[in-house]
Amino acid sequence: MAAKKEKQFDPVKTLHSIEEQFEMFQILNEEGEIVNKDADPKLSDEELTELMTRMVYTRILDQRSISLNRQGRLGFYAPTAGQEASQLASHFALEKEDFILPGYRDVPQLIFHGLPLHMAFLWSRGHYLGSAFPEGLNVLFPQIIIGAQYIQAAGVALGFQKRGIKAVAMTYTGDGGTSQGDFYEGINFAGAYRSPAIFVVQNNQYAISTPRELQTAAKTLAQKGVAAGIPSILVDGMDALAVYVATRDARERAINGEGPTLIETMCYRYGPHTMAGDDPTRYRTSDTDNEWEKRDPLVRFRKYLEGKGIWNEEKENEVIERAKEEIKEAIKQADAAPKQKVTDFMKIMYKGDMPFNLQEQFDLYTEKESK
Amino acid sequence: MAQMTMIQAITDAMRTELKNDENVLVFGEDVGVNGGVFRATEGLQKEFGEERVFDTPLAESGIGGLAVGLSLTGFRPVMEIQFFGFLFEVIDSISGQLARQSFRTGGRYNAPVTIRSPFGGGVATPEMHADSFEGIVASQPGLTVVIPSTPYDAKGLLISAIRDENPVVFLEHMKLYRSFRQEVPEEAYTIPLGKADVKREGTDLSIITYGAMVHESLKAAEALEKEGHSVEVVDLRTVQPLDIETIIASVEKTNRAIVVQEAQKQAGIAANVVSEITERAILSLEAPVLRVTAPDTVYPFAQGENAWLPDANDIIETAKKVLTF
């Protein structure tokens, strides 16, 4: 047998060299210590407490939403606990004029962008007034078709670019969503047009029961940005500061005309996929749960802020009480929404006149509803 | 007035609207410097610039997503799908997203998007170019589906489609692109969507049809006339929503009708027309409403088109069955 020749080209080496580029970006470790001083965004005390407030509020919102769902007072609900840093610190880097195209788990970002809480509850219940957003609120409804929000974000970003508006389109999907064609087309279109889009992949380890490793042999999801030729970054998604910095920098590049960025946030959802009967104990061990609970974004951010002397139990309890109050109030407001009629649905089908078929049916249902 | 082919009338409609409304954007695969694979967008990028008329990467779904996103930022996209056989790559953006945009946002956002796409047989295209998939989009609430058969109709209907506040699928039959010229006004004019047009008046039989079958029906009507039958040809022009008033008025006058489409019997929209007639005018009928369609196979290999596509002879044959029922 002839001696093995030195390979002229080694695709395995190429792959490894790409994978090595995607080290996890972290600023706060699990103990709430700054481990990357150069990257510290040096947020003001006020900003830091505001971010903590939003994360605590959202954890309570999640707990209350699960319980309201169990009481039958909410409908579709996709739990968010564990993803507070990923969701809210990324949103914290946005401005009001930025446009959010959320996935179905991304309701908290909408709320802090300005969506009234009772509308989020109406959306959960399945009421059209839940996504009849107030004028000036730059968001779309939570997208159910996984991947669709990505190609649409490329379109919104191109729209801003054409209008010369210094704003970004930000969209979110999960780890499973990176397997969709629209995921790839979205980042690729935005790359080709150098549009101001920020694509966030919240890698919470599972797509319903399917583990992340079954989606792709790629070592990271961030490296999928390479296929679109766009900058991408792998971030500790349980670290609010790292998520914030990654998003802030992506936004800056975007509005400076440097195109889109893909951000993978490595995080975890503590709860089930949705409240529609998913049981995570079928596919997840409590060891894994416990391991991720140690990395809880609230725990480490709390430690960090307490260390700075700007957070304490009293402050946290105030937020919790306020959240509970506002949730109660919002549920009441949602309860007060008028019952939906078929004629309501017909009225929102088209802008302008109804087509003949619908007008005919409208007259029929108007009569039915008057009885 | 100018003598135009249908493709020239389509270009002229886009030029008119690009001029008329700065929010109109034209985009798709090879629609820019190349002027489109059929020259439908010829000269538009040169006249209006790359900001208004531009090429996209080769991905229909992404093109649909661009249209959704651009409409959310106040633009009026006119997107092109190179051949309607590629619909399946973009059906979520069209049926799952654009069609529902107003509804799912409670009217907060509408989607003033026009989806232009060529289709239709008789020109020996390769696979998945000529299929008649209008029935698929016609079944989606929220979409209007327009299919012109003449240069004059094409221009007026396309201007209406672009100005419409809701998504319109505008299907252009490839065989009709350059098959004949017609006088077309040079200025902007509109033809209302959802309005049929009686292309030939008659008293014994109504042929209700659209697309390339309008011309086959007119040929058939002429032949039938020679045999003493007076045939009315109704060109639907919009296949969703249907112009019920014009259809029913014609059937109530002639008491006999056939519906003619190029699509397979299980596809297209002919069954809808038959249902509407039976629901609304059964007491006027002297005979059942029969359909002329293609057979229920996959669209044929190119050399089999002539045997497979419905034509004037098929129409004459079916018309006679109804006339002598």
Whether B23 shows a pLDDT value over 60: the answer reads yes
pLDDT of residue A3: 63
CA A142 from chain center: how many Å? Answer: 10
At residue A283 the predicted structure's pLDDT band, cuts being 50, 70 and 90, is: very high
Q: Please report how many Cα atoms fall inside a 13 Å half-sphere around the Cα of residue A27, on the Cβ side.
A: 21
The nearest CA of chain B is from the CA of A268 a distance in Å of 29
- How many angstroms separate the CA atoms of B280 and B271, rounded? 14
- How many angstroms separate the CA atoms of A360 and B74, rounded? 31
pLDDT of residue B51: 98
Inter-chain residue contact B70 with A145, CB threshold 8 Å? no
Inter-chain residue contact A348 with B103, CB threshold 8 Å? yes
Inter-chain residue contact A159 with B242, CB threshold 8 Å? no
Q: A-chain residues within 8 Å CB-CB of B241?
A: 355-358
B241 touches chain A (CB under 8 A): yes
Q: Is B92 helix (H, G, I), strand (E, B) or coil?
A: helix
Inter-chain residue contact A128 with B103, CB threshold 8 Å? yes
A158 touches chain B (CB under 8 A): yes
- How many angstroms separate the CA atoms of A318 and A323, rounded? 9
CA angle, B218 then B223 then B224, to 5°: 95
Mean pLDDT score, A136-152? 97
Whether A7 shows a pLDDT value over 80: the answer reads no
Amino acid at the residue A351: K
Mean pLDDT score, A207-219? 96
Label the pairing between strands B2-4 and B24-28: unpaired
B62, B71, B144 member nearest A151 (Cβ): B62
The residue assigned the tokens 């082919």 is B5
Query: Is A270 known to be catalytic?
Result: no
Residues 78-97 of chain B whose Cβ lies under 8 A from any Cβ of chain A: 92-93, 96-97
Question: Under the phi-then-psi rule, with left for phi > 0, alpha for psi from -120 to 50, and beta for the rest, what region is B30?
Answer: left
Label the pairing between strands B76-80 and B24-28: parallel
A206: its two tokens: 């599972």
Interface test with B, best of A115, A151, A173 (most B CBs within 10 A): A151
B25, B93, B194 member nearest A355 (Cβ): B194
- How many angstroms separate the CA atoms of B233 and B220, rounded? 10
Query: What 8-state DSSP symbol labels residue B144?
Result: E
B72, B103, B107 member nearest A159 (Cβ): B72
- How many angstroms separate the CA atoms of A154 and B61, rounded? 12
pLDDT of residue A1: 55
Q: Is B253 helix (H, G, I), strand (E, B) or coil?
A: helix
Whether B140 shows a pLDDT value over 80: the answer reads yes
Interface test with B, best of A110, A131, A162 (most B CBs within 10 A): A162
Inter-chain residue contact A131 with B106, CB threshold 8 Å? yes
Please, what is the average pLDDT of chain B?
Answer: 98
Inter-chain residue contact B70 with A189, CB threshold 8 Å? no
Q: A-chain residues within 8 Å CB-CB of B109?
A: 140
Whether A159 shows a pLDDT value over 80: the answer reads yes
Which residue in B129, B173, B215, B229 is the catalytic one? B129
Inter-chain residue contact B61 with A157, CB threshold 8 Å? no
- Total CB pairs under 8 A between chain A and B: 141
- How many angstroms separate the CA atoms of B159 and B16, rounded? 8
Q: Give residue-wise pLDDT tens across range B306-325.
A: 999 999 999 999 999 999 99
Inter-chain residue contact A148 with B97, CB threshold 8 Å? yes
Helices (H), chain A: 11-19, 45-70, 84, 90-92, 107-113, 117-125, 148-163, 181-193, 225-228, 240-255, 286-293, 297-307, 313-335, 342-347, 356-370
CA A89 from chain center: how many Å? Answer: 10
This model of the complex carries an ipTM of 0.97
pLDDT of residue A2: 60
pLDDT of residue B33: 96
Inter-chain residue contact B97 with A357, CB threshold 8 Å? no
Query: Is A127 known to be catalytic?
Result: no
Q: Give residue-wise pLDDT tens across range A285-344.
A: 999 999 999 999 999 999 999 999 999 999 999 999 999 999 999 999 999 999 999 999
CB B252 within 8 A of CB B281: yes
| CB burial string B257-274: b at 16+ within 10 A, e below | bbbbbbbbeebbbbbbbb
A140, A351, A358 member nearest B102 (Cβ): A351
- Provide Rg for chain B, Cα atoms: 19
Q: B-chain residues within 8 Å CB-CB of A356?
A: 194, 241-245
More confident residue, A1 or A135: A135
At residue A24 the predicted structure's pLDDT band, cuts being 50, 70 and 90, is: very high
CB A77 within 8 A of CB A278: no
In the sheet that holds A261-266, the strands lie side by side as A99-101, A169-174, A197-203, A261-266, A232-236
Interface test with B, best of A189, A193, A344 (most B CBs within 10 A): A189
pTM strictly above 0.95: yes
Which residue in A128, A184, A193, A283 is the catalytic one? A283
- How many angstroms separate the CA atoms of A252 and A206, rounded? 31
Whether A6 shows a pLDDT value over 80: the answer reads no
Q: List phi, psi (to 5°) of B24.
A: -75, 130
Which residue in A54, A59, A105, A269 is the catalytic one? A269
Residue among A139, A236, A220 at smallest CA distance from A175: A220
Inter-chain residue contact B72 with A158, CB threshold 8 Å? no
Residues 144-183 of chain B whose Cβ lies under 8 A from any Cβ of chain A: 144, 164-166
Inter-chain residue contact B241 with A357, CB threshold 8 Å? yes
Share of residues in chain A with pLDDT > 70 (%) = 99
A128, A157, A189 member nearest B57 (Cβ): A189
